Amino acid sequence: MSYRGYKGKFKPKNFGKYWGDPTKITYRSLLERRFMCFCDDSPAIIKWNSEEVIIPYLSPIDNRYHRYYVDFLIKTKTKTGQIKTTLIEVKPHSQTSPPVKKSGSKKPTRTYIKEAMTWGVNEAKWKAATEFCLDRKWQFKIITEKDLTP
């Protein structure tokens, strides 16, 4: 199933839970929309926002710094009453591991090269996000469709 190509505005039912301007919540895939519904409905999530945290990262493609807009920030309350902050990236499971070169082909295909470049950039973003979170005692997590099954 394709999760990309779907874009729209999300209107939360629980405006008080959204940390930011609730009129500007945009999803860029069905997976992101599904996660937004989860955040809005889940009693475990006390606050959330979308694309509000920006992390600089060094791209392996051009060796320059770029800005990574992390998909989500969520705040949850633990059983001990502490507030836990987690940055969430939502991706199709197929994009969470390096691409595999087709066996038997001597030259890499254009598709493989594109997937390898995307993987390299994603890996750099996720490394920067992990370090960003460690500095703040937060967590960074990648969520896929396997985590969002109804």
Active site residues: 32, 71, 91
Please give the structure tokens belonging to residue 76. Answer: 């949850």
d(CA 80, CA 53): 26
- HSE-up of residue 74 (Cα within 13 Å, Cβ side): 26
Q: Which are the contacts of 45, defined by CB distance < 8 A and separation ≥ 6? A: 17, 38, 39, 74, 75, 76
d(CA 27, CA 7): 5
Please give the structure tokens belonging to residue 75. Answer: 């705040």
